[in-house]
């Protein structure tokens, strides 16, 4: 009998860093979803690797390599794997490895190729290690930027979803000392407008309610604690309001606005830097947060955690975030399909 129900969204899950917890949480998530999966799953990695890992995790899941992509059909009694390159038989968990990092990147490239051909409906990406990428000779700072580059996407942003929050970031993975000079009128306005667009297209909101954080304590306190709000952020809000009917509030002090956000007063929160948004989200979501890349021509989600090298050898990783990443990928694809149909008739 089929290992997953029929007629679901087609989700490709990339390899992730084999030395980290990514493949582990992938298999644990598939086990959790086995009886009630929202998706038809394709693993972009070698079957032998997943088979050995499943044995170590004591999971009874069958895997088989597809000789050709066309062999991926409904009703298969195993989880299909599609990947031409092999992995070493013995893998040292808990440490970056150039060969494994290269295989992880090749899996990402394959996923984007399939997505751009409309052969899959969404991509879910287990974590890769940024320092490992650099060590292996790759110049991209992370998944988000590489996916945008491969798909030739110019406007894209990172959004984290969890615990009732949808946090979009104006700046992403840059040192804190560089945040202020990267807060510009253009960057803030673009982030607001892309967040508005994706709340409608990917999350089903008809008139989104967006709140924008200030950068400085008390949102600058009228210039006494910093000028970024007056010179960059507030003007960008005013400009964005003229281009959309979304309700845009701010800039507000983040030490108070997240209380109202958790109550449900807003549909998304635009934050100026990484930790400003991710600290409250990770506290509220309790390990079930999901990373979504806004603006891509395909759906991409990821669990909201790293490679977890420190816990990888213990096989003790929590798959909750990966489960939610798979579910959210399906929901976003469904919402985008409804949105496209509605706007094709208008």
Vertex 314: Cα angle to 311 and 318 (nearest 5): 65
pLDDT value of position 150: 96
Q: Comparing 6-10, 116-120, 268-272, which segment has the lowest mean pLDDT? A: 6-10
Residue 106 has pLDDT above 80, yes or no: yes
Residue 343: predicted pLDDT: 84
Burial class (CB in 10 A: 0-12, 13-18, 19+), 51: middle
Per-residue model confidence as pLDDT tens digits over 203-234: 999 999 999 999 999 988 888 888 999 999 99
For residue 188, how many other CB atoms are within 10 A of its CB? 26
* pLDDT above 50 for 4: no
Per-residue pLDDT at 7 exceeds 70: no
Q: What is the pLDDT of residue 1?
A: 35
Run of H or E residues at 149: helix 143-150
| Per-residue pLDDT at 2 | 42
Could you give all domains of the chain from N- to C-terminal order, each with its CATH number? 1-153+327-334 (3.40.718.10), 156-295 (3.40.718.10)
111: helix, strand or coil: helix
The whole-number pLDDT of residue 346 equals: 59
> Residue range 61-74: average pLDDT?
93
The dihedral region occupied by 308, where left means phi > 0, alpha psi between -120 and 50, and beta the remainder, is: left
Q: What is the largest CA-CA distance in the chain?
A: 67
- Rounded mean pLDDT, 321-344: 94
Give the DSSP letter of residue 46: -
Is pLDDT larger for residue 156 or for residue 73?
156
Q: What is the arithmetic mean of pLDDT over 20-24?
A: 98
Give the whole-angstrom CA distance, residue 265 versus residue 90: 51
How much is the pLDDT for 17?
97
3-class DSSP state for residue 98? Answer: helix
The residues facing 64 across adjacent strands are 80
Average pLDDT over the chain, rounded to an integer? 93
Share of the chain above pLDDT 70, in %: 97
> Does position 264 have pLDDT exceeding 70, yes or no?
yes
Flag whether pLDDT at 300 surpasses 60.
Answer: yes
What count of residues does the chain have?
Answer: 346
| Distance of alpha carbon 230 from alpha carbon 217, whole angstroms | 13
């Amino acid at each position: 009998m089929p290992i997953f129900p029929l007629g679901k969204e087609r989700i490709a899950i990339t390899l992730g860093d084999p030395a980290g917890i990514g493949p582990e949480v992938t298999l644990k998530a598939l086990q959790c979803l086995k009886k009630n999966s929202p998706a038809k799953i394709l693993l972009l990695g070698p079957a032998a690797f997943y088979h050995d890992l499943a044995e170590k995790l004591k999971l009874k899941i069958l895997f088989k390599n597809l000789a050709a992509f066309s062999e991926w059909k409904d009703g298969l009694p195993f989880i299909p794997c599609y990947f031409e390159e092999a992995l070493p038989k013995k893998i040292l968990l808990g440490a970056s490895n150039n060969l494994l990092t290269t295989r992880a990147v090749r899996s990402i490239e394959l996923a984007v190729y399939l997505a751009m051909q409309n052969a899959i409906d969404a991509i879910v990406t287990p974590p890769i290690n940024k320092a490992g990428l650099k060590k292996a000779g790759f110049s991209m700072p992370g998944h988000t930027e590489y996916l945008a580059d491969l798909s030739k996407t110019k406007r894209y942003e990172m959004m984290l979803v969890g615990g009732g929050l949808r946090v979009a970031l104006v700046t992403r993975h840059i040192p804190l000392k560089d945040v202020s000079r990267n807060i510009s009128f253009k960057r803030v306005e673009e982030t607001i407008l892309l967040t508005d667009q994706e709340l409608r297209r990917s999350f089903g909101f008809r008139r989104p309610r967006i709140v924008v954080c200030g950068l400085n304590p008390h949102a600058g306190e009228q210039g006494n604690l910093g000028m970024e709000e007056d010179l960059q952020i507030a003007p960008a809000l005013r400009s964005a309001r003229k281009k959309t009917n979304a309700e845009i509030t701010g800039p507000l002090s983040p030490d108070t606005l997240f209380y109202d956000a958790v109550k449900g007063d807003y549909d998304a929160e635009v934050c100026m830097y990484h930790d400003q948004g991710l600290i409250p989200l990770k506290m509220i979501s309790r390990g079930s947060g999901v990373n979504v890349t806004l603006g891509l021509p395909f759906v991409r989600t990821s669990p909201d955690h790293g490679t977890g090298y420190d816990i990888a050898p213990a096989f003790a990783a929590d798959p909750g975030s990966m489960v939610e990443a798979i579910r959210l990928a399906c929901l976003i694809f469904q919402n985008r399909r409804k949105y496209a149909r509605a706007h094709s008739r208008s």
